[in-house]
Amino acid sequence: MAKYIELTASNFEETLNKGVSLVDFWAPWCGPCRMIAPVIEELAADFDGKAKICKVNTDEEQDISVKFGIRSIPTIMFFKDGKMVDQIVGAQSKAALAEKINALLA
């Protein structure tokens, strides 16, 4: 089973520079973040080899959070070839997230 990619300052740009990526900005203490964690893991399996499903721990990677202006979590950003193309704030359904990924893959 595919696992999501844990992003850090050292691998962020390299990981996102090609293809379609979903990035979940989260923190361990955040209830809604914990609620959607299983959805993120399912998406990682569903889109294995097609899109990158990633997570950024905002407590540990504050520089990335500041760079993207993360003010509330969970914030989910969608990237295509290194550029941020869409963003959702708050917990979302698996179907809503999959629909956005599929639209970027099309």
From 16, 33, 40, 76, the catalytic residue: 33
φ, ψ (nearest 5 deg) of residue 44: -60, -40
| 54: annotated active-site residue | no
Q: Which position among 20, 22, 30, 101 bears the catalytic label?
A: 30
Beta bridge partners of 79: 21, 84
- Residue 33 is among the residues annotated as catalytic for this protein: yes
Q: Angle at the Cα of 2 (from 97 to 19), degrees rounded to 5?
A: 55
Backbone angles phi, psi at 18, to 5 degrees: -130, 135
**Which active-site residues does the annotation give?**
30, 33
